[in-house]
Copies of this chain bind each other. A is one copy, B any other.
Amino acid sequence: MRSREACEALDAADPLAAVRDRFVLPDGEIYLDGNSLGVLGRSVAPRMAQVIEEEWGKGLIRSWNEAGWYSATRRVGATIARLIGAAADEVIVADSTSVNLFKVLMAALRLRPDRRKVLVAEGDFPTDLYIADGVARLMGVTFATFDPQMPEDAFDDQTAAVVLTEVNYKSGRIYDMAQITAAAHARGALAIFDLSHSAGVMEVALNKGQADFAIGCTYKYLNGGPGAPAYIFAASRHHAAMENPITGWFGHADPFRFSGDFAPATGMARMLSGTPPTLSLLALEEALKVFDGVDLAAVRAKSIGLTDLFIRLSDEVLTPLGFALASPRDAAVRGSQVSLTHEHGYAIMQALIARGITGDFRAPDIVRFGFVPLYVRYVDVFDCVMAMRDIMQTRAWDTDAFRTRKAVT
């Protein structure tokens, strides 16, 4: 087993070590839940004080022009584009991931009007299943799930669109975007990706993979803050023909002409609907600055280093205590998280949180740890596993206080 000293040496040699200082981490806390809510960037609070006190408080309505509020959806989209292998004008920030998937799926159905089926990968995050099911009921088409390991079996000439989360939220498994897309395109279907668990911790290659559309959340690995607005990618080849079902004024070609007739904006702006939640949007913009100068290949390399270490330690220390690995052992298909199963997973996670080590729980029995290379250290991995061992050996988890469920887990 690796020693804590060996982990300290890895941290000392980490090329990303200095990036950790761009975040405000609570004293003494080991935070392994950046795949639920990312950590606060150090510059966000002062920036938001300026946004609120100066831009809103003093600039008032003028700030839509003078402080660049009006262009923020496109500007922040362009920043995210670099992280996901897209062109700057192929990404826009809007609404929530759920609303964006609704818009994109509806757009895909209109691009494939003769087809009667939408597919989502089985085991994908529930909101993706719910939205696709809702869209299918609304449009009178069929909704089904498919096995992302054997997509060819499910796709046929009735398939309008397929939805897949590039990294599964429970297992952390990476699916091959290019392979899924090729299988979809071979049958004439459109491929839509949810990047919520991949963007920010690995190199996402939307255009290299020929993806048609993508959506993603910004409050996990992009550290945008609670409920930060989501984004939409559409490959430029779809820009002219795609239609947004929610035709609000921000998607209009000239919203401030106040015409009574809808005319869609050129490019990604047509995927906007209402006025964006600008405080949340500007917090996201500031948060994204932690990625300035950061090489995503280095991020991915450290991500593998952290998750490999966790699995090795877990094999030695936690497997004998009843835990089982629920994430891929092969780093090539593993995202930046590791999930373990344990029948008392919920209470164990609560006990761990009480010790200042935060991961999360996903029903029915998964304890899930996100390893964000920008701020998680190798010693954090070591300390987490040792704390779990102690919790199991002392049965510290076995109290009512830790067994009682909270509203959000």
Residues of A within 8 A of B (CB): 24, 26, 29, 31, 33, 36-37, 39-40, 44-45, 48-49, 52-53, 56-58, 60-65, 69-71, 95-99, 102, 106, 125-127, 129-131, 133-134, 138, 217, 219, 225-230, 245-250, 252, 255-262, 273-281, 283, 353, 358, 360, 362-363, 406-409
Among A95, A246, A260, the one with the most B-chain Cβ atoms within 10 Å of its Cβ is A246
CB distance from A381 to the nearest CB of B (A): 18
Report if A96-B274 is in contact (Cβ < 8 Å); known contacts: A40-B52, A225-B56, A227-B281: yes
Q: What are some 26 contacts across the A-B interface (CB < 8 A)?
A: A26-B58, A26-B60, A45-B49, A45-B57, A56-B226, A64-B408, A65-B406, A70-B408, A95-B96, A96-B275, A98-B248, A98-B249, A99-B273, A102-B248, A127-B274, A129-B262, A133-B247, A134-B262, A138-B245, A226-B279, A227-B276, A227-B278, A228-B279, A256-B408, A277-B279, A279-B280
Contact A258–B363 (Cβ < 8 Å): yes
Q: Which residues of B contact A24 (CB under 8 A)?
A: 53, 57
Contact A225–B52 (Cβ < 8 Å): yes
Report if A274-B58 is in contact (Cβ < 8 Å); known contacts: A65-B406, A252-B130, A256-B407: no
A255→B363 CA distance, assembly (Å): 11
Contact B227–A259 (Cβ < 8 Å): no
Contact B407–A229 (Cβ < 8 Å): no
Report if A246-B134 is in contact (Cβ < 8 Å); known contacts: A256-B408, A409-B256: yes
Q: Which residues of B contact A63 (CB under 8 A)?
A: 226
Contact A358–B61 (Cβ < 8 Å): yes
A206→B310 CA distance, assembly (Å): 57
A176→B261 CA distance, assembly (Å): 26
Closest 3 A/B residue pairs (Cβ): A96-B274, A98-B248, A98-B274
Return the contact of A60 from the options B245, B259, B274, B358 (Cβ within 8 A): B358
A277→B227 CA distance, assembly (Å): 4
CB distance from A361 to the nearest CB of B (A): 9
Return the contact of A130 from the options B44, B99, B249 (Cβ within 8 A): B249
| Closest B residue by C-beta to A71 | B407
| Closest B residue by C-beta to A249 | B127
A138→B102 CA distance, assembly (Å): 13
